[in-house]
Amino acid sequence: MADREELHVLLVEDNPDHEELVRRAFSDCGARVRLQVARHGEEALDYLFRRGEYGDAERSPRPRLILLDLRLPRMDGLEVLAEIKSSPELRAIPTVVLTTSESDHDVARACAQHANSYLVKPVEFERFEALIGDVESYWLTLNRQPGGVGPAGAR
Amino acid sequence: MRRARRSLRTRLAGVLAALVALLLLANAAWLVLSARQRMRERIETSASLFATLATGPICSAYEAYFESGHLKFRQVVGDLLATAPDVTRVEIVDVEGQVLFDSGRLNESWPARPPPGRLDGIRLEAARRLEPTTLRGGDAAAATLEIVSPWVEAWGRHRLSVVYSVSYAKLREEYQRYARATLAFTAVSILAAALVGLALARRLTRPLAGLTEGAREIAQGRFGRRLDVRTGDELQTVAEAFNEMAERLDATRAERERLIDELERRNAELERFTYTVSHDLRSPLVTVRGFVDLLEKDVAAADPGRTAADLDRIRRATVTMEELLRELLELSRIGRVMNPPERVSLDQLARQAVALLHARLRAANVRVDVRPGLPSVHGDRTRLLEVLQNLIENAIKFRSGQGEPVVEVGSRPGPDGPVIYVRDNGVGIDPRYHDRVFALFERLDPRVEGTGVGLALVKRIVEVHRGRVWVESEGAGRGSTFCFTLPEAP
């Protein structure tokens, strides 16, 4: 368990404070996660499609999970989601919406764009931490992905 | 077209026909009655004339021939009677009332003896008089007339009188014929009047049909419909009033639709606004609460570096919240709290904005060039100052790192009046985001300070002034030009 490889997670989040909250929540639950942060929708797509400064595949490994905020500068999260889910290469990556929006409208639109999950950021850190812990255990530990990626014991 | 339950035409024609029929019938009745009277008088006159003329010859013939040769007498009486068709019977009586001869029994065995009878009462009295007497008898259905005419001989002796019975049968016959003709004529007249009335009513009501159809179309919402009635009479006046009404309705409807559109737009805006606000205000709240909770861990772990950093995050998040609330309040006041519109010189206003931003312009080393020829507009001076201030501030924020930052405020002619622009040589905006920059809380670059309310504010103020705002930029690094239109000062 100790030499378990680091898991790549792409966090699309414009607010550095929220980024810090996610980072600490991951570290508190003891997950070995390498967080790649994109500040806006375009940066996220540049990373995923390996464009611009992310042109080098070495610098932009495929994430095991994408955490996506909805309200982003330039291109909002739903557009990013649509791009991801329409790409045959990327659509298998679990994309979890993590937002402050509780609006039914947003939930419906995210589901329509095939979001794998829709989560609302809790206000209390304890619950935030618990939520990230659940995300980690479900999406990064229990969930199996194509290409033999999944829980080691199940192989 | 649905027919009227009781059409005006039918009613008009009905009333006309009834009136005409009544008049014609009264006329016919008067004609018939007066003709009957005239005929009766004519019969009576000719009968009494006949009586006067025939009494002498009849009595002479009676004296001369009755006893000896009644054939001659019969001939004389027959010839005389033939000349007076209304006289049906002739009787010769003496002053004693004894009937000596009765033409009604002319065909009986001759000579008629014993005498046919005696006169009595008023007839006897009349037979004794020396003047001719007219006796009316019978009832209304079968009136009779008898003329008793005395034969006064040349030397004054009065021995015989003649009783003429006059029949009205001919009168009745003629009168009935006349009445029939008159009634037939009347009926034809009534029919003709009804037809003419109907035709006239149709002509009168044809424009009414158009009026009805037009009214119905307007009732169904086709307000563009106009009536074309050129009869030059009251109907045309009605049609004109009608057209005027339709025009007003049309205008009212257009106004109502405009208001509904505006209301729907406002509603959608409000919905977006509420959504955005709830979302964006939650964001700093998550930060504050999250780091307050983390602070406890920091303190427990006795990590002074982290404690300070987390406190700083909390402080900045509360500043952001405060800023958001202030700007939201400001945004909500536009359109609600407005100063009375006045004539505003944009040239003056641009210079005022530059003066207000003097410190920030100097700090950022930005030069503002206010071009001559800025128009004067009609609007809220304070709000318009905010527009220019926000646009210049925006230009300061998004100045590019290279070269001397310059902001140009000027105007150029456009299709709907002058276009006022604020042009910078800053970072520019990708054409993909041109619509988005004006949305509430929309920030293209998270690294640049601000809440994303400034341009939303500009858009709102310009729109409240019924103007339009947009951005022109060829893309990143090529500067941007914010343009807007405003109603010109009259």
Asked if residue B465 is part of any domain, the answer here is yes
- Separation between Cα atoms, residue B449 and residue B435, nearest integer Å: 20
- Separation between Cα atoms, residue B285 and residue B321, nearest integer Å: 8
Intervals of chain A under pLDDT 50: 1-3, 152-155
Torsion of CA A85, A87, A92, A96, to 10 degrees: -30
H or E segment at B368? strand B367-370
The answer to whether B290 contacts A128, with C-beta atoms less than 8 Å apart, is yes
Domain with residue A83: its CATH number is: 3.40.50.2300
Parent domain of B386: 336-485
- Separation between Cα atoms, residue B337 and residue A104, nearest integer Å: 33
SS3 call for B443: coil
Tokens 């998004």 belong to residue: B398
H or E segment at A104? helix A104-112
State which amino acid sits at residue A39.
Answer: R
Q: What is the pLDDT of residue B61?
A: 83
Q: What is the pLDDT of residue B335?
A: 65
> Which of B175, B209, B234 corresponds to the end of one domain?
B175
Asked if residue B386 is part of any domain, the answer here is yes
Domain with residue B108: its CATH number is: 3.30.450.20
DSSP one-letter string for A42-92: HHHHHHHTT-GGG-STTTSPPPSEEEE-SS-SSS-HHHHHHHHHT-TTTTT
Among candidates B294, B441, B447 on the partner chain, residue whose Cβ is nearest the Cβ of A24: B294
Q: Two tokens at A109?
A: 């639109």
Total residues found in chain B within this entry: 490
* Partners of residue A71 in chain B, C-beta under 8 Å: 279-280, 283, 441
SS3 call for B119: coil
- The interface predicted TM-score (ipTM) is 0.87
Percent helix, strand, coil in chain A, to 5, is 40, 15, 40
Q: What is the pLDDT of residue B266?
A: 81
Asked if residue A153 is part of any domain, the answer here is no
Q: Two tokens at B138?
A: 């019978």
Among candidates B289, B441, B443 on the partner chain, residue whose Cβ is nearest the Cβ of A125: B289
> Which of B175, B209, B241 corresponds to the end of one domain?
B175
Give CB contacts under 8 A, 24+ apart, made by B58-61. B58/B90, B58/B92, B58/B151, B58/B162, B59/B92, B59/B151, B59/B160, B59/B162
Asked if residue A150 is part of any domain, the answer here is no
Parent domain of A114: 7-142
Structural domain count, chain B:
2
The answer to whether A18 contacts B283, with C-beta atoms less than 8 Å apart, is yes
- Separation between Cα atoms, residue B408 and residue B66, nearest integer Å: 153
A-side interface with B, Cβ within 8 Å? Answer: 14-15, 17-18, 20-21, 24, 39-40, 71, 73-74, 99-103, 105, 121-126, 128
Instruction: List, in sequence order, every residue forming a beta bridge with B417; answer none if it has no partner.
Output: B414
DSSP one-letter string for B328-350: HHHHHHTTTS-PPPEEEEHHHHH
Question: By CA distance, what is A13's nearest residue in B?
Answer: B446
State which amino acid sits at residue B39.
Answer: M
Asked if residue A90 is part of any domain, the answer here is yes
**pLDDT tens per residue across span B407-444:** 999 999 988 889 999 998 888 888 888 878 887 777 76
- In 3D space, the residue among A108, A54, A59, A55 whose CA is nearest the CA of residue A81 turns out to be A108
- Separation between Cα atoms, residue B267 and residue B455, nearest integer Å: 20
Asked if residue B199 is part of any domain, the answer here is no
The answer to whether B280 contacts A74, with C-beta atoms less than 8 Å apart, is no
Asked if residue A121 is part of any domain, the answer here is yes
Residue B222 to chain A, least CA–CA distance (Å): 38
Asked if residue B310 is part of any domain, the answer here is no
Question: Quick check: B421 and B409 in contact, CB under 8 A?
Answer: yes
The answer to whether A74 contacts B278, with C-beta atoms less than 8 Å apart, is no
Q: What is the pLDDT of residue B69?
A: 67
Residue A148 to chain B, least CA–CA distance (Å): 36
Asked if residue A107 is part of any domain, the answer here is yes
Question: Quick check: B377 and B487 in contact, CB under 8 A?
Answer: yes
Among candidates B289, B433, B443 on the partner chain, residue whose Cβ is nearest the Cβ of A124: B289
Among candidates A17, A122, A128 on the partner chain, residue whose Cβ is nearest the Cβ of B317: A17
Task: Please list the pLDDT of chain B residue by residue as tens digits (490 residues).
Answer: 455 566 666 777 678 778 878 888 898 889 888 888 888 888 888 888 888 888 888 888 888 777 776 777 778 888 888 888 888 888 888 888 778 787 776 655 455 454 567 777 777 888 778 888 888 876 666 677 888 888 888 787 888 888 888 888 777 788 788 888 888 888 888 888 778 877 877 777 777 777 788 778 877 877 777 777 777 777 788 888 888 888 888 888 889 998 999 889 888 878 877 777 777 788 899 999 999 999 988 888 888 888 999 999 999 999 988 888 888 888 777 767 777 888 889 999 999 999 999 998 888 888 899 999 899 888 889 889 989 999 999 888 888 877 888 999 999 998 888 999 999 888 888 888 887 888 777 776 666 666 677 888 898 889 888 889 999 888 777 888 999 998 776 6
Structural domain count, chain A:
1
SS3 call for B21: helix
Q: Two tokens at B159?
A: 């021995």
> Which of B175, B201, B224 corresponds to the end of one domain?
B175
Q: Two tokens at B154?
A: 């040349």
Edge-to-edge strand list for the sheet holding A65-68 = A33-38, A7-12, A65-68, A95-99, A117-120
- Separation between Cα atoms, residue B391 and residue A48, nearest integer Å: 35
B-side interface with A, Cβ within 8 Å? Answer: 275, 278-280, 282-283, 285-287, 289-294, 313, 316-317, 430, 433, 436, 441-447
Asked if residue A152 is part of any domain, the answer here is no
Question: By CA distance, what is A101's nearest residue in B?
Answer: B279
B111 upstream amide cis, omega within 30 of 0: yes
Question: By CA distance, what is B283's nearest residue in A?
Answer: A100
Q: What is the pLDDT of residue B435?
A: 79
Of A12, A105, A125, A128, which to mutate for an interface test with B (greatest number of B Cβ within 10 Å)? A125
Q: Which parts of B112-208 are beta strand (E)?
A: 133-138, 143-152, 158-166
Q: How many CB atoms lie within 10 A of CB A153?
A: 5
Asked if residue B186 is part of any domain, the answer here is no
pTM, to two decimals: 0.56
Using CB atoms within 10 Å of the CB of residue A66, give its burial: 0 to 12 exposed, 13 to 18 middle, 19+ buried. buried
The 8-class DSSP code of residue B60 comes to H
Q: What is the pLDDT of residue B385?
A: 92
- Separation between Cα atoms, residue A115 and residue B200, nearest integer Å: 79
